[in-house]
Amino acid sequence: MNFHFIRVCFRYLSIARLDFLSVFLVLGGVTLVVIGVCAPLLYWAESARPGANITNLGDAIWLCFMIVTTIGFGDHYPITLIGRIAAVPLAATGIGVFGTLAGYFGSIILDRVVRQASTDMLHQQNSRIEQLSKQNQELNEIIRAVAYENKELNRMIVELTKSNKEIIRKVDKDTDDILDYLRKWKHED
């Protein structure tokens, strides 16, 4: 087997090597312990019985591996109650091992997919933030232009107000002069 390919797979799937190794060591260890206990038990329970097809320890070990791997060729099978009961933990171990492996690899793939989806979402959010930042800058420029125009309008209003005050003073003075003239004219009559 090409170990470089496996290393590339580790990096691609972002699996910690120790996690990967520990999963296989634990599952393999549990499987070997269950086989180590059940194979002699199957041999002891089956070998002396008439009609039994497990006649030596090799047959018992073969049956254990067939049960654990869930293949079960059917060439060897237990005929006694104790032999059948000994096969139950083997079947449970096989289902557990393959279920655990499927879950483990599924979680690795899901982690990769979720990580990629998260990265894509972050890129989209960053792109949207950049768009909003650009729009914000444009709005700030417009606000500055409006504020400048507002400042100019305010300056013009102040000048008009000053002019109006002068005009109002002049009109008041002219009105006072006219009223004074009219009073003098009325008194002269």
- As a whole number of angstroms, the distance between CA 79 and CA 47 comes to 10
Mean pLDDT for 131-150 is: 90
What is the model's pTM?
0.53
Structure tokens at 119: 């990265």
pLDDT at 188: 73
Class of domain 3-137: mainly alpha
Tens-place pLDDT, residues 71-130: 877 888 899 999 999 999 999 999 999 898 888 888 878 888 888 888 888 889 999 999
Main-chain dihedrals φ then ψ at residue 79, nearest 5 degrees = -115, -15
Pairs from 98-102 (Cβ < 8 Å, separation ≥ 24): 98/70, 100/23, 100/27, 101/23, 101/27
Percent of the chain with pLDDT over 90: 35
pLDDT at 153 over 80: yes
Q: CA–CA separation, 97 vs 31, rounded Å?
A: 8
Q: Residue 8's pLDDT is what? A: 64
- The C-alpha angle 181, 186, 189, rounded to 5 degrees, equals 125
Query: Which pLDDT score, from 0 to 100, does residue 41 have?
Result: 94
Cβ atoms < 10 Å from Cβ of 19: 12
User: Can you tell me the distance from the alpha carbon of 57 to that of 38, in angstroms, rounded to the nearest whole number?
Assistant: 11
Q: Give the pLDDT band (50/70/90) at residue 189.
A: low
- C-beta atoms surrounding 52 within 10 Å: 19
Domain ranges of the chain: 3-137
